[in-house]
Amino acid sequence: MLKLNFHPSGRHYLQIPGPSPVPDRILRAMAQPTIDHRGPEFGALGLKVLADIRKIFQTQHPVVIYPGSGTGAWEAALVNLCNPGDTVVMYETGHFAALWNQLALKLGLKTEVLGLPGGQNWRCGIQADLIEKRLSQDTHHQIKAVCVVHNETSTGVTSNILAVRRAMERAQHPALLLVDTISGLGAADYRHDEWGVDVSMGGSQKGLMLPPGIAFNALSPRAIAASAQSRMPKSYWAWDEMLSMNKSGYFPTTPNTNLLYALSEACDMLLEQGLPLVFTRHQRWANGVRLAVQAWGLPIQCQDPAVYSPILTGVVMPDGVDADQVRQRILERFDCSLGTGLGLVKGRMFRIGHLGDTNDLTLIATLAACEMGMRLCGVPLAGSGVQSAMAFFADHPGA
């Protein structure tokens, strides 16, 4: 065993917005022996997880499961739908949207990046009317797809996906709607079918409470039809062979068997509880954490309460304070990991994850670590965020 004595005693607080802590129940499920991925036992497991994951995406249509990280889900969607040189519209809501844009450019696609100037959308999410306006101008229907991020993990801002679909309908444009819900899935309400999404991208290590290593593409019938016309080079990511083998619960290449045990367990946990309860649990935690930040007198990165993320909160530091130094201090002194500022907001804010396998006391401890760490770094605080969060959690029992 590698012994670096990082965590001398007690539990590490993994409070980044993914990977999120993995529940013991899931760790135990993963510890089963790896089985023959062409045998009958695997077929039953494959059919179960392929059915369960549809319920999590709230879709009746196929979901493709890859061994891969979320980035693979981005690439898979684009190579299965596009032709070389196609134009896609990207909406810059934050660092992850920007990375997806870079990936599309590396694939040789043309991209058009929409957004308000000066990174304003990093604080308020997507303005669907900008998408409507751009699509209305595209009278020859050159734009193949609109790519948006549902829960921007770099900012703690969500976007209204149904509003995007409605904007596309008003423009009467046939572009496909591609949505990254890699950090939203299993934590924030997400409705693939009802919102008219063509491809939804998911990952294992955030709301699903699994280790990293699974990427998902949830498909619409339109996306499946469009993929038959796509001429982008692809092999590993190709949906066709995957979809035909998945019908009997199997995969073209070796699937990550033990992670699929974990996925099966995670779906059981989420579906036993019921998705509505899972979503309200996250909203309640997010409320408590935001009250704490407000009591500190610090700005929240998201400026529009209508699109606050239920998954994470971005805490903006006063001018002259390096948010990364604060984050580092909290990690070293209190063994609590927080998310770093990414891209435009690097050094300006840190991120508190409140997703998956957490509870009130874990979040109180996390807020205490933040409060002590900021005190150590000389950050002026208006009051105690811990007190506010305790009062909120005590007065608002969960369902």
Q: Which residues bind ligand PLP (CB under 6 A)?
A: 18, 69-71, 96, 149, 153, 180, 182-183, 203, 212
Chain position carrying tokens 């649990």: 281
H-helix or E-strand spanning residue 322? none
Q: In terms of CB distance, is 156 or 255 closer to ligand PLP?
A: 156
Q: In terms of CB distance, is 101 or 183 closer to ligand PLP?
A: 183
DSSP string, 170-234: HTT---EEEEE-TTTTTTS---TTTTT-SEEEEESSSTT---S-EEEEEE-HHHHHHHTT--S--
Q: In terms of CB distance, is 75 or 360 closer to ligand PLP?
A: 75
H-helix or E-strand spanning residue 13? strand 13-14
Please give the Cα distance from 268 to 35 (Å, whole number).
21
Shortest gap between Cβ of 376 and ligand PLP (angstroms)? 29
Please give the Cα distance from 339 to 357 (Å, whole number).
17
Q: In terms of CB distance, is 182 or 379 closer to ligand PLP?
A: 182
Q: In terms of CB distance, is 86 or 152 closer to ligand PLP?
A: 152
Shortest gap between Cβ of 303 and ligand PLP (angstroms)? 19
The residue with its CB nearest to ligand PLP is: 70
Please give the Cα distance from 208 to 55 (Å, whole number).
13
**Pairing label, strands 349-353, 312-316:** antiparallel
Shortest gap between Cβ of 78 and ligand PLP (angstroms)? 13
Shortest gap between Cβ of 106 and ligand PLP (angstroms)? 14
Shortest gap between Cβ of 311 and ligand PLP (angstroms)? 9
Chain position carrying tokens 């995670």: 266
How many Cα atoms sit within 13 Å of 128 on the Cβ side? 16
Shortest gap between Cβ of 69 and ligand PLP (angstroms)? 3
**Pairing label, strands 312-316, 199-203:** unpaired
How far is CA 217 from each of CA 55, 163, 168, 179, rounded to the nearest angstrom?
14, 21, 21, 10
Shortest gap between Cβ of 149 and ligand PLP (angstroms)? 5
Q: In terms of CB distance, is 18 or 341 closer to ligand PLP?
A: 18
Q: In terms of CB distance, is 198 or 360 closer to ligand PLP?
A: 198
Q: In terms of CB distance, is 209 or 374 closer to ligand PLP?
A: 209
All residues at 6 or more sequence positions from 250 whose CB lies less than 8 Å from its CB, including other chains: 37, 38, 42, 43, 46
Q: Are 54 and 63 in contact (CB under 8 A)?
A: yes
Q: In terms of CB distance, is 159 or 388 closer to ligand PLP?
A: 159
Burial 325-354 (b: 16+ CB within 10 A, else e): ebbbbbbeebbbbbbbbbbebeebbbbbbb
Shortest gap between Cβ of 94 and ligand PLP (angstroms)? 8
Q: In terms of CB distance, is 66 or 261 closer to ligand PLP?
A: 66
Shortest gap between Cβ of 164 and ligand PLP (angstroms)? 15
Q: Are 297 and 381 in contact (CB under 8 A)?
A: yes
- Name the nearest CA neighbour of 59 among 220, 231, 265, 241: 220
Shortest gap between Cβ of 1 and ligand PLP (angstroms)? 26
